Amino acid sequence: MLVIFIRTIILYALVLLVMRGMGKREIGQLQPFELVISIMIADLASTPMADVGVPIFNGIIPILSLLVMHLIISFGNLKSIRFREVICGKPSILIYRGKIDEQRLKKERYTVNELQERLRGKDVFNIGDVEYAILETSGEINVILKPEKRNPTLDDLSVQAKYEGIAYDLVIDGVIQFDNLKKINKDYKWLEKEVKKFGFKPEDALVVTIDGGNQIYCQEKGGK
C-alpha cells in the first residue's frame, strides 16, 4: 500500500507540473493537439499508478516526452502560420452577414439545432439577431450581433468613461500581501491606519482590497 501511495504522489506531482508547463488554458479552449496530449498523459499516468508491476519510469518517460512534443508544436505554432493551420485548423464562419453558411455547417458537421444551442450559450436566443458566428479552432463559437441588436457602449452615448484600474488584494485571510502594497506605493503603517478605521487590525481581516479609485473594501474574520 505504501508503494502505491508513493507512486501515486510522484505521478500526480509530475502530471501537475506537466500540465502547468503546457500553459494556462481552460479545458474548452484547448487546441486539438493539446486535448490529445492531455488525454494521453492521463492514460499514461493511470497505468503505473494502479499496477505496481509496471515500472514507474514506463509512465514518467512517455509523459515527459509528450511535454517535449507539446513544447515543439507550440513553438512551431508561434513561428509558422502554415504549421499552425495544419495542426490547429482555421476558424470557420458559420453565419456570414446574417445568413447561415449551409456548406460550412455541413463541413463542420453541425446541425442548425446545434448551432442554435451554442448561440443560446452566448445569450443569443434569436438566430436572426446574429451578423456573424465564428467557430474557433478550440470549438468555441463567438458571436457578433447585428448593429441594431448590440448593447450601446459609452462611446455610442458620447459619455467619457472614468479610469478604473484594477483592484489589489492587500490582506487575504489575515496574510498581508506586501507585494501588492509595494505596487500601490504603500506600506504596512498605511494599511494598519486604514484598516483601524474599520475597528480591527490587518491581521484580523478576512479580506482587504483597494480599487483604482482608492476605495477600500474590508471584512473582519468571523463575518463582521
CA atoms of 220 and 198, how far apart (whole Å): 9
CA atoms of 181 and 170, how far apart (whole Å): 6
**Contact of 20 with 13, CB cutoff 8 Å:** no
**Contact of 219 with 207, CB cutoff 8 Å:** yes
pLDDT > 90? residue 146: yes
DSSP 129: G
Provide CATH code, domain 92-149. 3.30.240.20
Q: Give the pLDDT of residue 194.
A: 93
pLDDT band at 224 (very low <50, low <70, confident <90, very high): low
**Contact of 91 with 135, CB cutoff 8 Å:** yes
Query: Closest Cα partner for 209 from 194, 193, 189, 224?
Result: 194
Q: Give the pLDDT of residue 188.
A: 94
Each residue of 12-69: pLDDT tens digit? Answer: 888 888 877 777 665 556 777 777 888 888 888 888 877 778 888 888 888 888 888 8
Range(s) for CATH 3.30.240.20 in the chain? 92-149, 168-220
Each residue of 87-137: pLDDT tens digit? Answer: 878 899 999 999 999 999 999 998 999 999 999 999 999 999 999 999 988
- pTM beyond 0.75: the answer is no
Q: Which CATH architecture has domain 168-220?
A: 2-Layer Sandwich (3.30)
pLDDT > 90? residue 79: no
